[in-house]
């Protein structure tokens, strides 16, 4: 990049090439773009669920409509980077925002359930493109020495954006066109920072990836499995923690407060974890620590469930540190890859997260049916535990090879 002002400085290319000039404007623009989308997601998710429930649809159908988001993400991932190579990252982000905004308004104008399934697929397909390209832009623009800090800031601001959406919905209500219009306007606003930083976008057109997206699932397994586990645990928690809380004697108000503690942990811990990752040569052990915190927190749920204060503190720490799997996983990607390979790896990262979104609630729900109600906690602990075994296996194999 040619700019000297508004930069972090230079950063070494992970492949050993010429040091790159890193623009702070590009990083800020990418974070602002995806955070605007995050606010709209936080607004639209509960809005759509509330409206379906008000219209008398069953929980099974509401869940199926929500699950279409994960399926849309899985289908969309392979097409995002080829489109970005043709149009450029900034223009593809702008196009994604236009499609997402139009489909969000479509939910208001086309109320039939069949239309809502089609709109879910289009809406979340566009959002998937926004996440892939924004995270690639941030990761490729961040200097190695500050990548953890930059991605920690990104995760923190995005968490605040997600939390702002439900607050807006509480103010606007679910009636009429207003919540849809506000959500659409916020998505369209996300176009402005992307186009403002057009000159600072990462270049993909002349840099073709060496491998297809799915191959990167195995090329960087510690990062992609971190995304899978976090996606599975996060969605299982959002879907089933209220059920788990109700079955263990908690009121709706108490459950809402516990979910707030969980969300607050996500906000508080990401920058500290990013800073720690910047000081570590081998980030796999930080990923192990995040998974261990998640496993210990999950397996402790049946033990501390009768002490609400202890439970609140536990989910605050558990949720915040476990969410570091996503943040540190992104740092791990950026430290190992660059250019179009990093774009492909970022797409694989989001693909793994989407697969986790679909699998996690199903696995936790089955476990809860088999061991009511604590099967929920055991399933989450098992997901974290399997990831810890993967890390030990990978590192052990590397030691043997040496």
Residue 362 makes CB contacts below 8 A (sequence gap 6+) with: none
Picking from 196, 229, 251, the residue at the C-terminal end of a domain is: 196
CATH number for the domain harbouring residue 363? 1.20.1250.20
Decide if 324 is inside a domain: yes
The residue segments making up the domain with residue 295 are 213-402
CA distances from 58 to 152, 241, 242, 271 (A): 39, 19, 17, 40
**Position 23 confidence tier, pLDDT thresholds 50, 70, 90:** low
Decide if 358 is inside a domain: yes
Give the tens place of pLDDT for each residue, 39-57. 888 888 778 878 887 888 7
Length of the chain: 402
Name the average pLDDT for the chain: 85
Decide if 5 is inside a domain: no
SS (H, E, C) 128-139: HHHHHHHHHHHH
Select the more confidently predicted residue: 262 or 230: 230
As a whole number of angstroms, the distance between CA 382 and CA 305 comes to: 19
Residues 228, 180 share a domain: no
Give the tens place of pLDDT for each residue, 91-130. 999 999 999 999 999 999 999 999 999 999 999 999 999 9
Contact yes or no for 360/231 (Cβ under 8 A): yes
Give the tens place of pLDDT for each residue, 62-81. 767 777 888 888 899 989 99
Lowest mean pLDDT among 54-58, 157-161, 177-181, 205-209: 205-209
Question: For residue 290, how far is the Cα from the chain centroid?
Answer: 16
Give the three-state DSSP class for 8: strand
In this prediction, residue 7 carries a pLDDT of 39
What average pLDDT does range 340-344 have in this prediction? 86
**Position 210 confidence tier, pLDDT thresholds 50, 70, 90:** low
Picking from 162, 196, 230, the residue at the C-terminal end of a domain is: 196
Residues 255, 217 share a domain: yes
Give the tens place of pLDDT for each residue, 239-285. 778 788 888 888 877 887 887 788 888 889 999 999 999 998 889 99
Residues 225, 172 share a domain: no
CA distances from 240 to 63, 244, 323 (A): 11, 6, 17
Decide if 4 is inside a domain: no
What average pLDDT does range 134-158 have in this prediction? 89
In this prediction, residue 16 carries a pLDDT of 44
Instruction: Name the domain count of the chain.
Output: 2
Residue 390 makes CB contacts below 8 A (sequence gap 6+) with: 221, 222, 225
As a whole number of angstroms, the distance between CA 93 and CA 350 comes to: 16
Residues 269, 153 share a domain: no
Picking from 196, 225, 252, the residue at the C-terminal end of a domain is: 196
Residues 182, 303 share a domain: no
Residue 240 makes CB contacts below 8 A (sequence gap 6+) with: 361, 364, 365, 368, 376
pLDDT at 359 over 70: yes
Decide if 204 is inside a domain: no
Residues 221, 168 share a domain: no
Residues 144, 219 share a domain: no
Q: Which of 142, 144, 134 is nearest to 41 (CA)?
A: 134
CA distances from 120 to 72, 218, 358 (A): 8, 29, 14
What average pLDDT does range 142-161 have in this prediction? 89
Decide if 11 is inside a domain: no
Give the three-state DSSP class for 23: strand
Residues 332, 300 share a domain: yes
What average pLDDT does range 309-322 have in this prediction? 88
Residues 185, 259 share a domain: no
pLDDT at 287 over 80: yes
In this prediction, residue 5 carries a pLDDT of 31
As a whole number of angstroms, the distance between CA 210 and CA 293 comes to: 36
As given in the structure block, the two tokens for residue 283 are: 């980030």
Residue 369 exposed, middle or buried by CB count within 10 Å (0-12, 13-18, 19+): exposed
Decide if 293 is inside a domain: yes
Helix (H) or strand (E) holding 21: strand 20-23
Decide if 184 is inside a domain: yes
As a whole number of angstroms, the distance between CA 237 and CA 243 comes to: 10
pLDDT at 15 over 80: no
Per-residue DSSP letters for 147-182? HHHHHHHHHHHHHHHHHHHHHHHHHH-SSSSHHHHH
Lowest mean pLDDT among 61-70, 123-132, 167-176, 383-392: 61-70
pLDDT at 379 over 90: yes
Q: Identify how many contiguous H helices and E strands the chain contains and give both numbers.
A: 15, 2
What average pLDDT does range 296-309 have in this prediction? 92
Residue 46 makes CB contacts below 8 A (sequence gap 6+) with: 165, 166, 169
Residues 274, 387 share a domain: yes
In this prediction, residue 205 carries a pLDDT of 60
The 10 Å Cβ neighbour count of residue 102 is 16
**Position 290 confidence tier, pLDDT thresholds 50, 70, 90:** very high
Lowest mean pLDDT among 9-13, 56-60, 279-283: 9-13
As a whole number of angstroms, the distance between CA 384 and CA 24 comes to: 35
Residues 159, 237 share a domain: no
Residues 290, 176 share a domain: no
User: For residue 8, which phi and psi values (nearest 5 degrees)?
Assistant: -80, -20
In this prediction, residue 126 carries a pLDDT of 94
Give the tens place of pLDDT for each residue, 178-200. 999 999 999 999 899 989 888 88
The phi-psi region of residue 249 (left if phi > 0; otherwise alpha if psi is between -120 and 50; otherwise beta) is left
């Amino acid at each position: 990049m040619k700019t000297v002002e508004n930069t972090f400085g230079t950063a070494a290319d992970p492949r050993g090439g010429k040091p790159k000039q890193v623009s702070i404007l590009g990083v800020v623009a990418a974070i602002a773009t995806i955070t605007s989308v995050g606010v709209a997601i936080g607004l639209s998710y509960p809005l759509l669920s509330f409206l379906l429930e008000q219209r008398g649809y069953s929980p099974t159908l509401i869940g199926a409509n929500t699950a279409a988001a994960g399926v849309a993400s899985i289908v969309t991932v392979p097409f995002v980077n080829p489109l970005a190579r043709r149009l450029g990252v900034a223009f593809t982000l702008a196009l994604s925002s236009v499609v997402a905004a139009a489909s969000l308004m479509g939910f208001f104008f086309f109320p039939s359930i069949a239309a809502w399934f089609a709109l879910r697929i289009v809406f979340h397909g566009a959002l998937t493109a926004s996440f892939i390209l924004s995270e690639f832009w941030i990761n490729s623009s961040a200097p190695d020495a500050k990548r953890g800090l930059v991605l920690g800031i990104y995760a923190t601001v995005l968490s605040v954006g997600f939390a702002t959406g439900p607050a807006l919905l509480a103010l606007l209500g679910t009636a009429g066109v207003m919540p849809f219009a506000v959500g659409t306007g916020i998505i369209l606003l996300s176009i402005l920072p992307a186009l403002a930083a057009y000159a600072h976008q990462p270049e993909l057109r002349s840099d073709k990836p060496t491998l297809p997206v799915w191959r990167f699932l195995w090329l960087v397994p510690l990062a992609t499995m971190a995304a899978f586990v976090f996606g599975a645990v996060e969605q299982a928690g959002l879907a089933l923690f209220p059920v788990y809380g109700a079955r263990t004697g908690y009121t709706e108000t108490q459950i809402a407060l516990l979910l707030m503690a969980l969300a607050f942990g996500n906000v508080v811990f990401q920058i500290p974890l990013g800073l720690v990752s910047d000081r570590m040569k081998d980030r796999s052990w930080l990923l192990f620590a995040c998974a261990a915190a998640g496993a210990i927190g999950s397996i402790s749920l049946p033990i501390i469930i009768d002490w609400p204060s202890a439970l609140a503190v536990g989910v605050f720490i558990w949720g915040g540190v476990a969410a570091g799997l996503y943040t540190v996983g992104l740092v791990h990607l950026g430290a190992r890859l660059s250019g179009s390979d990093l774009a492909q790896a970022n797409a694989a990262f989001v693909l793994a997260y989407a697969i986790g979104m679909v699998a996690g609630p199903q696995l936790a729900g089955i476990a809860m049916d088999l061991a009511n109600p604590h099967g929920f906690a055991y399933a989450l602990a098992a997901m974290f535990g399997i990831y810890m075994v993967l890390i030990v296996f990978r590192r052990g194999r590397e030691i043997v090879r040496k």
